[in-house]
Amino acid sequence: MPKAPTTKVDFNSLKAPVGYVPGLGRGAAGFTTRSDIGPARAGGIDALKQAGQAPGSKKGGDDESALDETKFDEFMGNDAGVFATGEYDEDDKEADAVWEKIDNFMDERRREAREKRLKEELERYRAENPKITEQFADLKRKLADVRADEWEAIPEIGDYTLKKQKRMEKFAPVPDSLLARAAAEASTAGGVNKSIDPNSGLASVGGLGGIQTPMGGAASTVSDLTAIGTGRGTVLGLKLDRMADSVTGQTVVDPKGYLTDLKSIKISTDAEISDIKKARHLLKSVIQTNPRHAPGWIAAARLEEVAGKLVDARKLVMQGCELCPNSEDIWLEAARLQTPDNAKALLARGVAQLPESTKLWMAAAKLETDDTAKARVLRKALERIPTSVRLWKAAVELAEEDDARILLSRAVECCPQAVELWLALARLETYENARKVLNNARKAVPTEPAIWITAAKLEEANGANQEQLDKIVGRALKSLSANGVVIHRDAWIKEAENAERSQPSAHVGTCRAIVRCVHCMGVDAADLEGTLVADAEESLKRGSVETARAMYAQALATFPSQPHIWRQAAQLEKAHGSREQLDELLRRSVQFCPQAETLWLMAAKEAWMGGDVDGARAILARAFAANPDSEQIWLAAFKLEFENNEPERARALLAKARENEAASSYPRVWMKSAIVERELGEKGRERELLEEGIRRFPSFDKLHLMLGQLEQRCGNTDAARAAFRNGLARCPNSIPLWRSAARLEEEAGGNVARARALLDQARLKNPKNDELWLTAIRTEQRAGNEKAADTVLAKALQDCPTSGPLWAEAISMAPRPARKTKATDALKRCDNDPFVVAAVAQLFWADRKVEKARSWFNRAVTLSPDIGDHWAHFYKFECQFGTPEQQAEVSSRCAAADPHHGERWCRVSKDLKNAHQGAEVLLRRCVQDLDTLPPP
């Protein structure tokens, strides 16, 4: 059945929906023609979106507009379309900061590993691909040792380069016709005038003008060039003859000066000439634009001087003087460019134009060669400028003492504010007149501290006591403060140091007065003690001993109960003062600090070193009264008697100490008691004291060690072994006990295996101890096991890679060719170790490099002066290569250092035969030990 007809919709009659654009669905964009007015809409959908007419868009420029997804944002990435409408607020900023910290933390965790990996790769690459310079570095270092004669003996290398060999030339006989023709040409060319035409460049004959060239043209050119050279020589000879003296026949040409002038000629490059021309043009415009501008004329003249045109420079500067007569700089520049005589006349014109210019008068005085003429010029200047301090000082310097006094009297009237003139006049006057001068100066310049300080120095030089000087400085501070002068403490301390260093004699009283008056200015009471001590130390570093002494005196007067200040003051007196001053200071110190044991000991030692043994005993007796239970004082009293060969008095003193309840509780008292009995040869009494001491102090390792050594001297090996065993059970960390026990097993029964086992056990209980490793190495060496010693040394260096004694042993054990390499490795590991430095010094000694060896030995004893072995090596070296003066210097330095350590030094010093010997005697016996015995 057919469909019923329906009503057809006429879309053309309907209104288009909002936002409808014809053809947009099939991709057609708007277009324009010539008939349209205005531009067409560009961009299609983009334009509609901007206009807000596209489907899904809102009018009015809403924030939630659709965005183009093809745009890529560097911060947001492809999500820009999602988050573009959001605002970046404080929460977003905080979140970004948190994530940035996390990123930095993660990067920091990986940075160390990354840098380490990069460093390893770089080192590996450099090791696999070394530079040519690195490969030949060792050979280059050896060139430093090549002597001059060896260098000259090196043969010259020949020329072995492949060069093209010349082919053998072949000659053919010349036909007779050619020879005849050449002879005819030579005969005709003799009377022809040959010349070179610069326009044609060809050799022409006669009047042909370069049009016709003769057949002998080549020969003619050569002849012409030769003639040119001859002509140049003739011209030079004429010039030299013109410069000669035609009357006497003697030349006035100085050959050396002539050559010097030739060398001094400056050949300017094109660029420099161009720069000079530009500068000349610029300065010309400057002086033409403003001819009254003196610096422009000066610059133009200096430019011509640099260009070598001195005459032009003088002309320019003279024009400047005419146009700028009131500028002193241009007059000075003109005088500088002129000769001395012309400069005098020029400066005369200048001072006539500018009579008030001090610089012109001084320049005119400098041009005079005679002091009288200079003084005359300066006096003329002072007539015109009586207030110039510079002119007065120059005039006074040229005058005699009496004339200078007169000049200064007039100078201070004309220049009352010039402090230097007042002080100079005071130095030239007598004492009474100098006081008047300084009083007048103080009234004229009431704000100048130098006048008051000079007054104090004057009074001190004329016998004033310290109290008077203190009053002068005190009045100075009050007067200056009243006149508004700010008192700076540091500046016044500097003035005190200057007073101490003043010449010809030091003004110590003025220095002390200044320190007494300003020491507490501007310093809080809580900081005063530390400030005074610090200022004293700084002054001492600058070499101002009296200032430092005055600072310590004020500190002690303010804080008399501080022992550390007394100790520092005593150190100062010991280094820079006399023995009387030191004794007086220590006597006062123990009065104010009777409980300070160190001060008592210092006082007793200084009395003992001064040879006053009875005085030292009296000081220690007073120290006992003040500190009856002090271990240090008991031991000091024992040492005084023991070192002065009074063993019986020392024994009685120690017996009294053992009866004292407090003193008997000190293990060192029992040890010293055993040492006295050993000195007297009482072995039984020594054993009793040691056993009693061990019973009282079982953990004091030295008592066990002394007991074992006593039994070893008596030949009781089993008892010595038992003593060492008991000591190790109580003191497992005592290294000397382990070493002595191992040495006992090695020497008594030759049981190296037992000694080795003891040392292994010691290293287990005391790991990373270089003394135990060194003992094990020496044990293997004494047993003749060199390979085992090398093995132990390698393990020791792995366990203690920075041990100086082990590296020194490694250097000595290495084969001779490998010692330098081993020394280099040791210095890399421990550069400033005295053992390594001494080992390197011995290497230079073996190579006969005397100066280097002396320098390294000196460095070793400076690094650690308490090691006696290094002093012994140094002294032995000087005995072989040094002078008697150098040997005496090393011996005296060793005595001053008083060393107590070192393997050989301890073996020598603890020998009973060397008891009570000084450091110099021990030094010589230690040198004998080096020559006769192996290391312990």
Question: Helix/strand/coil (H, E, C) string of 833-845?
Answer: CHHHHHHHHHHHH
Q: Residue 203 belongs to what H/E stretch?
A: strand 203-205
Q: What is the pLDDT of residue 82?
A: 52
CB count within 10 Å of CB 316 equals 27
Burial class for 890, CB neighbours closer than 10 Å (0-12, 13-18, 19+): buried
Tokens of 200: 């044609």
Summarize the confidence of residues 844-852 as an average pLDDT. Answer: 93
Q: Has residue 211 got a pLDDT over 70? A: no
d(CA 617, CA 650): 12
Please give the residue that has the higher pLDDT: either 21 or 52. Answer: 21
Q: Has residue 526 got a pLDDT over 90? A: no
Summarize the confidence of residues 30-52 as an average pLDDT. Answer: 49
Alpha-helix runs per DSSP H in 735-865:
735-748, 752-765, 770-782, 786-799, 804-813, 819-829, 834-846, 850-863
Residues in the chain: 936
- Least confident range of 96-100, 108-112, 459-463, 596-600: 108-112
What pLDDT, in 10s, does the model give residues 386-429?
A: 888 898 988 888 888 888 888 888 888 888 888 888 888 888 88
Residue 859 — pLDDT band, cuts 50, 70, 90? Answer: very high
Q: What is the pLDDT of residue 680?
A: 86
Q: Has residue 48 got a pLDDT over 90? A: no
Q: Has residue 308 got a pLDDT over 70? A: yes
Alpha-helix runs per DSSP H in 153-189:
176-188
Q: Report the chain's terminal Cα–Cα distance, integer Å.
A: 136
Using CA atoms, how far residue 626 sits from 46, 589, 608, 621, 630, in Å, is 106, 13, 20, 9, 9
d(CA 638, CA 647): 9
Q: Which residues contact 352 (CB under 8 A, 6 or more apart)?
A: none
Burial class for 865, CB neighbours closer than 10 Å (0-12, 13-18, 19+): middle
Tell me if 354 sits within 8 A of 331, measured CB to CB. yes
- The answer to whether residue 722 sits within a structural domain is no
- The answer to whether residue 539 sits within a structural domain is no
Q: Has residue 215 got a pLDDT over 60? A: no
pLDDT over 70 percentage in the chain: 81
- The answer to whether residue 358 sits within a structural domain is yes
Tell me if 254 sits within 8 A of 247, measured CB to CB. no
Q: Which residues contact 758 (CB under 8 A, 6 or more apart)?
A: 738, 741, 742, 745
Tokens of 159: 């020329």
Residue 502 — pLDDT band, cuts 50, 70, 90? Answer: confident
Radius of gyration of the chain (CA): 51
What pLDDT, in 10s, does the model give residues 723-767?
A: 999 999 999 999 999 999 999 988 887 788 999 999 999 999 999
Assign residue 319 the CATH number of its domain.
Answer: 1.25.40.10
Please give the residue that has the higher pLDDT: either 85 or 540. Answer: 540
- The answer to whether residue 757 sits within a structural domain is no
pLDDT over 90 percentage in the chain: 29
Tell me if 870 sits within 8 A of 925, measured CB to CB. no
Tokens of 488: 């700076």
DSSP string, 424-448: HHHHHS-HHHHHHHHHHHHHH-TT-
Please state the separation of Cα 192 from the chain's center in Å: 81
Residue 44 φ then ψ, to 5°: 65, -115
Q: Has residue 482 got a pLDDT over 80? A: yes
- The answer to whether residue 102 sits within a structural domain is no
Q: Has residue 81 got a pLDDT over 90? A: no
What pLDDT, in 10s, does the model give residues 881-916?
A: 999 999 999 999 999 999 999 999 999 988 888 888
Q: Has residue 652 got a pLDDT over 80? A: yes
- Going 283 to 284 to 285 to 288, the CA torsion angle's sign is positive
Q: Which residues contact 120 (CB under 8 A, 6 or more apart)?
A: none
Q: Has residue 80 got a pLDDT over 60? A: no
The strand pairing partners of 195, in sequence order, are 204
Q: What is the pLDDT of residue 823?
A: 93
Number of folded domains in the chain? 1
Tokens of 918: 């000084």
Residue 537 — pLDDT band, cuts 50, 70, 90? Answer: very high
Please give the residue that has the higher pLDDT: either 81 or 340. Answer: 340
Tokens of 602: 């210092």
Residue 370 — pLDDT band, cuts 50, 70, 90? Answer: confident
Residue 196 φ then ψ, to 5°: -110, 120
Summarize the confidence of residues 688-710 as an average pLDDT. Answer: 92
- The answer to whether residue 323 sits within a structural domain is yes
Q: What is the pLDDT of residue 245?
A: 45
Please give the residue that has the higher pLDDT: either 99 or 1. Answer: 99
Domain span at residue 381? 271-398
Q: Has residue 249 got a pLDDT over 50? A: no
Of 697, 762, 765, 764, nearest to 736 (Cα)?
Answer: 762
d(CA 284, CA 155): 64
Q: Has residue 41 got a pLDDT over 70? A: no
Q: Has residue 838 got a pLDDT over 90? A: yes
- The answer to whether residue 383 sits within a structural domain is yes
Using CA atoms, how far residue 703 sits from 538, 664, 671, 694, 761, in Å, is 46, 15, 6, 6, 22
Q: Which residues contact 103 (CB under 8 A, 6 or more apart)?
A: none
Residue 194 φ then ψ, to 5°: -95, 140
- The answer to whether residue 388 sits within a structural domain is yes
What pLDDT, in 10s, does the model give residues 314-324?
A: 999 999 999 99
Tell me if 582 sits within 8 A of 606, measured CB to CB. yes
What pLDDT, in 10s, does the model give residues 653-668?
A: 888 888 887 877 889 9
Q: In whole numbers, what is the pLDDT of the chain averaged over residues?
A: 81
Please give the residue that has the higher pLDDT: either 209 or 511. Answer: 511
Q: What is the pLDDT of residue 138?
A: 76
Residue 77 φ then ψ, to 5°: 75, -145
Q: What is the pLDDT of residue 403?
A: 86
Q: Which residues contact 658 (CB under 8 A, 6 or more apart)?
A: 664, 669, 670, 673
Residue 871 — pLDDT band, cuts 50, 70, 90? Answer: very high
Summarize the confidence of residues 508-520 as an average pLDDT. Answer: 90
Q: What is the pLDDT of residue 701?
A: 92
Residue 916 zone, left/alpha/beta (φ > 0; ψ -120 to 50; rest):
left
Q: Has residue 111 got a pLDDT over 60? A: yes
Q: What is the pLDDT of residue 197?
A: 42
The strand pairing partners of 134, in sequence order, are none
Residue 788 — pLDDT band, cuts 50, 70, 90? Answer: very high
What pLDDT, in 10s, does the model give residues 122-152?
A: 888 888 888 777 777 777 777 778 887 887 7
Output DSSP code: residue 17: P
